[in-house]
Structure 1
Amino acid sequence: MRTPQPMAAPLNTPVVLWLHRRPGLTGQVFSAIREARPRRLFLIADGPKPGQEADCAAARAVVDAVDWECRVERNFSETNLGIRERIVSGINWVFEQVEEAILLEDDTLCHPGFFGYCQELLERYRDQPEVQMICGTNPLGAWESSGDYFFSRYGAIWGWATWRRAWKTYDSALARYRELDVEALFHRHLKVEGQADHAFWRFRLLSGSRFDTWDLQWLLGCALQGGYCAVPTRNLVRNIGFGGQATHTVNVRDPRSLPLFSLPSALTHPPSEPPALVDEKFERWSYWMHLLSRLEQTPQLRLWSVALSRNPDLRVPTPSDSEAKFYLEPLRHPEELRELLLHLEQVAPENDGVIHLKEAIGL
């Protein structure tokens, strides 16, 4: 692992932090922000549900400790709006005031070099509309490339950055795409086996719905526009919020719990721009990582592993409204799946989720 390189000077790019009711996690993430000393800080908080008042107040008290020169702006709701409305309204509020920002949630702990990486790439790709976001997460932990980052067709929101010009296309109901041939657009952009069909399935599920989620609409919208995201060759953000207090990431043995690494302070830029610099193996494994995080919940997992390894074309008899049929895709490729899990063991040898998954699948 390369020597950490924190920001040498105060950070000029605005930083956004969402918080709610986890003061311990909020404190860890806020400490990382304090090291970067952003000149402008946006704090967004949802209001408490019944019984959460003390925890919400404690989390808000944590971020009162701004002890550097900084313009702090708060958008704290007194009522509970829910994840979707609170985060979307918060980002809208931010981009009414600034052109670009770095965004963190209360459970996304970043390496000190994350801020400089985001700031440099926000400036570099500011006027390239095909680049929609800068990701701090590398879902495989580490990946070799010709530069210190590369491009992917599908991103992650565990520590990210973007521009007003990209966010203004966001539509939480996905209504702007309903008159388009959405299925064809997904197949044109997403090349991994099964990924376009999975994206289309999710689009139909979310289109016009009131599901309390916001990030899938953002990622699906980026894909429908043919957008790309920058991904660091080393993971710069770790989700520290797996467990019972999380809204979605409740599995404490989630294989996506990866350690932090570092990049050099002077980034090496890749020799080409998207779509040329897309690694198809990374795309496939990155998508599989998302599926693996859900795979443990699949009934009779070991039996499916044996059956699909012997007959990859076997049809999975799941209800049409079930997402589980997509989770099994990696099991159709047992040798490459074994290679992926070996990679994860080397990158994150203490990841219980990877060890448990290998045992459950029988690899």
Structure 2
Amino acid sequence: MSNKQPFLIDLSVLLLFHARVDCFLQVWEEVKKARPARLFFYQDGPREGTKDFEGIAQCRELVKDENIDWECEVHRLYQKKNYGNDPSEFLSQRWAFSQTDKCVFFEDDDVPSQSFFLFCKEMLDKYENDERITMIAGFNTDERTMDIKESYFFTRVFSSWGWASWSRVVNGWDGEYRFVKDRNQFKLLQKKVNQYHQKKDMTKMVIDHAHSGKECFESISWSYMLLHDGMAIMPSVNLINNVGYGSGAHYEGGKLSLIPKRLRKIFTMQRLELEFPLTHPKEVKEYPDYQKRFYLVNAWNNPWRKVQYSLEELWLNLLHGNFQNIVKSIKNRILKTFGLKKYT
């Protein structure tokens, strides 16, 4: 007879991780508290010329069978070679959703609150057959959306730091970017970008990703949402912390102290808990005010805020004597100004 505890919630959870043990441990501790019924572990392989092997082994040790103290179904896919963040996100999601109809996704730096699991379960069941909804988000840049009385709202802008969806959505993603090659589909995408006031360089990002030879989750999933007039569900309070900035692995290192103050808030805001039972919106309708605030924080479609961020970043790097960062930033800004900066 097994000495393991029963699962607490009938939910599938996919964890994408690599070699960042400190980050992954924080995510894993929250998953362990939630005790979902199904676990999917996807790990990218070691990068050439790095010391990834130790971190990779330590991450695997955390999620060995003997370290899972509840009854659950476990699936693992550990790559031998390194694919990078793209296409690992897309590959891991397609793999998991081929085996489960509904799933929650975390990268190794997306630390959830406990109510996020309950929220996802209820939303996945309630909106399972509602094709207007393509994603359930967890990271709310407002921290608290004070002008919403309900427990959640609907939006077409969201972060991919902790989310959930359905196989009906993920199986519809076009990893070959045929919608870019199809002139009518691409014209429709451009129309939707304008109609829904998406960031102006989105179509360039899609084209760059299509030509990269990799399946890039961000452009594929976002294009699917727009082409299908979809929306995401956003909780009225923030349920995710991202703890990965500057920790290496798939991302460039950096210091929070060098980020403009308003952007720094994204990495330092509170992780809160939703109250249950949930209060549901009366209708499925986009809430545009959130998009305006989201764009302002990220300086999307806002040249003055971009200038402000650039000047603040320049000043912070000067204070810290980071002249290499300054040169790199100036080069990137010139490339972006003339449309020469490629999304990778």
TM-score (norm 1): 0.75
Where does residue 63 of structure 1 map in the other structure?
Answer: 63
Higher mean alpha-carbon deviation, 77-86 vs 39-48, is at 77-86
Contact 2:155/2:287, CA 8 A, preserved across alignment: yes
Structure 2 residue aligned with 1:101, among 100, 103, 119? 103
- Is residue 146 of structure 1 aligned with residue 146 of structure 2? no
Task: String of CA shifts for 1:7-30, please: whole Å, max 9, x gaps.
Answer: x97110111111110111111111
- Is residue 228 of structure 1 aligned with residue 236 of structure 2? no
* Secondary structure at 1:207 match in 2: helix
Task: String of CA shifts for 1:259-287, please: whole Å, max 9, x gaps.
Answer: 201111211111111xx2x2222112212
Quote how far apart the aligned CAs of 1:168 are.
Answer: 1.1
Where does residue 200 of structure 1 map in the other structure?
Answer: 203
Write the distance in 1 (CA, Å) between the matches of 2:194 and 2:114. 32
Quote how far apart the aligned CAs of 1:187 are.
Answer: 3.8
Q: How does 1:130-209 map to 2 (within 5 A)?
A: 130-143=132-145, 144-179=147-182, 180-188=184-192, 195-209=198-212
Where does residue 289 of structure 2 map in the other structure?
Answer: 281
Where does residue 5 of structure 1 map in the other structure?
Answer: none
Task: String of CA shifts for 1:155-188, please: whole Å, max 9, x gaps.
Answer: 3210100000000121234223432253553443
Give 2:276's aligned amino acid: S
Quote how far apart the aligned CAs of 1:196 are.
Answer: 4.8
Task: String of CA shifts for 1:192-239, please: whole Å, max 9, x gaps.
Answer: 65x353222222222232368432322233123211000000000110
Unaligned runs of 5+ in 2: 1-5, 315-335
Where does residue 320 of structure 1 map in the other structure?
Answer: 339
Contact 2:150/2:280, CA 8 A, preserved across alignment: yes
Give 2:52's aligned amino acid: Q
Higher mean alpha-carbon deviation, 114-123 vs 41-50, is at 41-50
Write the distance in 1 (CA, Å) between the matches of 2:190 and 2:152. 24
Where does residue 299 of structure 2 map in the other structure?
Answer: 291
Task: Note closer, same or farther for the CA distance 1:30–1:284 as it changes in structure 2 (3 Å cut).
Answer: same
* Secondary structure at 1:151 match in 2: strand
Where does residue 74 of structure 1 map in the other structure?
Answer: 76
* Secondary structure at 2:25 match in 1: helix
Structure 2 residue aligned with 1:238, among 233, 236, 241? 241
Quote how far apart the aligned CAs of 1:250 are.
Answer: 4.6
- Is residue 111 of structure 1 aligned with residue 113 of structure 2? yes
Task: String of CA shifts for 1:33-70, please: whole Å, max 9, x gaps.
Answer: 01110111111111112421111101111112111111
Identity of aligned residues (%): 25
Where does residue 334 of structure 1 map in the other structure?
Answer: none
Task: Note closer, same or farther for the CA distance 1:40–1:192 as it changes in structure 2 (3 Å cut).
Answer: closer
* Secondary structure at 1:267 match in 2: coil
Write the distance in 1 (CA, Å) between the matches of 2:215 and 2:251. 10
Q: How does 1:303-314 map to 2 (within 5 A)?
A: none
Contact 2:20/2:249, CA 8 A, preserved across alignment: no
Give 1:112's aligned amino acid: Q
* Secondary structure at 1:146 match in 2: coil
Where does residue 45 of structure 1 map in the other structure?
Answer: 43
Task: Note closer, same or farther for the CA distance 1:106–1:206 as it changes in structure 2 (3 Å cut).
Answer: same
Contact 1:19/1:46, CA 8 A, preserved across alignment: yes
Contact 2:180/2:207, CA 8 A, preserved across alignment: no
Unaligned runs of 5+ in 1: 1-7, 304-316, 325-363
Residues matched between the structures, number: 301
Task: Note closer, same or farther for the CA distance 1:240–1:249 as it changes in structure 2 (3 Å cut).
Answer: farther
Contact 2:84/2:250, CA 8 A, preserved across alignment: no
